[in-house]
């Protein structure tokens, strides 16, 4: 598809990408509102550690699994409808929690369940953005869109401060207002890519067909390791640094923020590299680097400089790998099934972030060290590298053969 679409020429795809990326960030900001407030609710409501963990986990689980139907619905109705719709729907639970949902655990869980709607926006944006760009530019475009996951950082940096200055409802009402403004702007500005046609098959039939595609389960594995690794470290790194190195809470949180920022910044780089060299070589390099860094960190080297270098390099690799995975999906998945495949892969990535913290905590409880847990990460990364170099490469080449014009990203 040429980028010379509509009266705006090359500016129209750039505008669509910008609006979609802002929507991704705003909805992820809403999706992550409860996480920074876990300790506060634990104290106010007398929650146990398990109840606190459940409260934080519910929006993430719902948002991850909800990407599956939302991605399929995006294939049918298009991002021009679904992006404003998801944003508007997220206003309801955000407002409920802010005004009436903070007095009890059941109310918070109910609000958190529907707050998960905001997390499904990822499955809307990927097929929407992908359709606006030709194959040789999709990797970079999807990487830029992926930077919207930094919306979780907005929540982490502002939620507690807003409560201290404006009261318990402040962060929720402000976020609801931003969501409402975005929904209106998106409805006015967004347009689906020229030539988009709604698939004839039902949503269920398309989901079944997507599950049967080899690229679906392969990309699920890749994204569960790449993005799941990012999620796991963004959640568990402060605990690890305090336990393994004795850092103060504030110092550990600042280092975790550096990890997150670097991973977010490298996501478009992973997409750009995929456009230039192909997704498979980039993913192979990513998982090789992660395996090497995990081996180094398994020995708990001095934090300065070896430990810091290992974690920052791992952050860069995981961010680039997340971008490269969806460059691969956009290039290999059939155009009318990108949304359904994205939903399944996005769900795998979100859920993949829950396993490593549980394993790390279990290993530390048994051995008083994280070494075995990091060794397991190295082994998983090495196996994923092997999968990429063999099965994924073969799938990409088969798709290349069936194309009328070879895709540059799959050389």
Give one DSSP letter per residue of 199-234, joined into a string: -SS-HHHHHHHHHHSHHHHHHHHHHHHHHHHHHHHH
**pLDDT tens readout for residues 273-316:** 999 999 999 999 999 999 999 999 999 999 988 999 999 999 99
What is the rounded distance in angstroms from the CA atom of residue 166 to the CA atom of residue 94? Answer: 16
Average pLDDT score over residue span 50-69: 87
Q: Quick one: pLDDT band at residue 262, thresholds 50, 70, 90? A: very high
In a 3-state reduction of DSSP, which class is residue 161?
A: helix
Angular region, 301: left φ>0, alpha ψ -120 to 50, beta rest: beta
The residues, ordered by sequence, that sit 6+ positions from 403 with a Cβ below 8 Å of its Cβ are: none
Name the more confident of 399 and 370.
370
1 touches 86 (CB < 8 A): no
Percent of the chain clearing pLDDT 70 (strictly above): 95
Percent of the chain clearing pLDDT 90 (strictly above): 63
7, pLDDT greater than 70 = no
The residues, ordered by sequence, that sit 6+ positions from 58 with a Cβ below 8 Å of its Cβ are: 109, 112, 113, 115, 116
What is the rounded distance in angstroms from the CA atom of residue 11 to the CA atom of residue 273? Answer: 23
Write down the pLDDT at residue 400.
59
404, pLDDT greater than 70 = no
Of 201, 41, 15, the closest CA to residue 112 belongs to: 41
Neighbours of 393 (CB within 10 A): 18
What is the rounded distance in angstroms from the CA atom of residue 115 to the CA atom of residue 159? Answer: 15
Domains of the chain: 1-190 (1.20.1250.20), 208-411 (1.20.1250.20)
Write down the pLDDT at residue 293.
97
Write down the pLDDT at residue 53.
77
The residues, ordered by sequence, that sit 6+ positions from 256 with a Cβ below 8 Å of its Cβ are: 233, 234, 237, 238, 241
Ramachandran angles phi, psi of 22, nearest 5°: -60, -40
In a 3-state reduction of DSSP, which class is residue 47?
A: coil
Give the largest CA-CA distance in the chain.
Answer: 64
Average pLDDT score over residue span 203-218: 90
231, pLDDT greater than 90 = no
407, pLDDT greater than 50 = no
Average pLDDT score over residue span 145-151: 90
The reply to whether omega before 305 is within 30° of 0 (cis) is yes
Of 128, 132, 136, 130, the closest CA to residue 278 belongs to: 136
Average pLDDT score over residue span 78-93: 96
| Mean predicted lDDT score pLDDT of the chain | 89
The residues, ordered by sequence, that sit 6+ positions from 408 with a Cβ below 8 Å of its Cβ are: 135, 136, 275
User: What is the pTM assigned to this prediction?
Assistant: 0.83
Write down the pLDDT at residue 10.
60
Neighbours of 299 (CB within 10 A): 12
Highest mean pLDDT among 158-162, 346-350, 374-378, 395-399: 374-378
Write down the pLDDT at residue 402.
55
What is the rounded distance in angstroms from the CA atom of residue 88 to the CA atom of residue 80? Answer: 13
Write down the pLDDT at residue 377.
94
CA separation, residue 305 to residues 201, 234, 310 (Å): 55, 20, 9
């Amino acid at each position: 598809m040429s980028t010379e679409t509509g009266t705006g020429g090359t500016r129209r795809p750039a505008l669509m990408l910008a609006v979609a990326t802002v929507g991704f960030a705003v909805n992820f900001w809403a999706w992550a509102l409860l996480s920074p407030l876990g300790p506060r609710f634990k104290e106010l409501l007398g929650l146990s550690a398990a109840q606190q963990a459940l409260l934080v986990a519910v929006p993430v689980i719902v948002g991850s699994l909800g990407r599956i139907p939302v991605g399929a619905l995006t294939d049918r109705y298009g991002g021009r409808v679904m992006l404003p719709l998801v944003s508007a729907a997220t206003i309801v639970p955000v407002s409920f929690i802010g005004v009436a949902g903070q007095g009890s655990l059941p109310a918070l869980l109910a609000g958190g369940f529907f707050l998960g709607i905001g997390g499904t926006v990822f499955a809307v944006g990927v097929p929407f953005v992908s359709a606006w760009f030709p194959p040789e530019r999709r990797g970079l475009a999807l990487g830029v869109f992926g930077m919207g996951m930094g919306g979780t950082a907005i929540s982490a940096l502002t939620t507690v401060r807003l409560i201290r200055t404006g009261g318990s409802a402040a962060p929720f009402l402000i976020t609801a207002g931003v969501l409402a403004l975005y929904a209106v702007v998106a409805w006015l500005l967004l347009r689906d890519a020229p030539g988009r046609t709604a698939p004839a098959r039902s949503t269920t039939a398309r989901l079944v067909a997507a599950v049967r595609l080899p690229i679906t389960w392969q990309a699920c594995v890749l994204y569960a390791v790449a993005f799941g690794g990012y999620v796991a470290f963004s959640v568990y790194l402060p605990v690890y640094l305090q336990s393994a190195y004795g850092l103060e809470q504030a110092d550990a949180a600042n280092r975790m923020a550096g990890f997150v920022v670097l991973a977010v910044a490298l996501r478009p780089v992973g997409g750009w590299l995929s456009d230039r060299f192909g997704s498979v070589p980039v993913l192979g390099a990513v998982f090789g680097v992660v395996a090497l860094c995990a081996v180094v960190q398994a020995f708990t080297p001095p934090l300065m400089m070896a430990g810091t270098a290992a974690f920052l390099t791992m952050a860069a690799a995981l961010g680039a790998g997340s971008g490269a995975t969806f460059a691969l999906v956009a290039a290999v998945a059939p155009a009318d099934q990108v949304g359904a495949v994205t939903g399944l892969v996005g769900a795998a990535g979100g859920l993949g972030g829950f396993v490593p913290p549980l394993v790390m905590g279990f290993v530390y409880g048994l051995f008083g060290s994280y070494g075995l847990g990091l060794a397991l990460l190295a082994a998983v990364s090495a196996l994923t590298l092997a999968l990429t170099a063999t099965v994924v490469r073969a799938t990409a080449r088969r798709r290349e053969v069936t194309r009328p014009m070879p895709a540059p990203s799959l050389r």
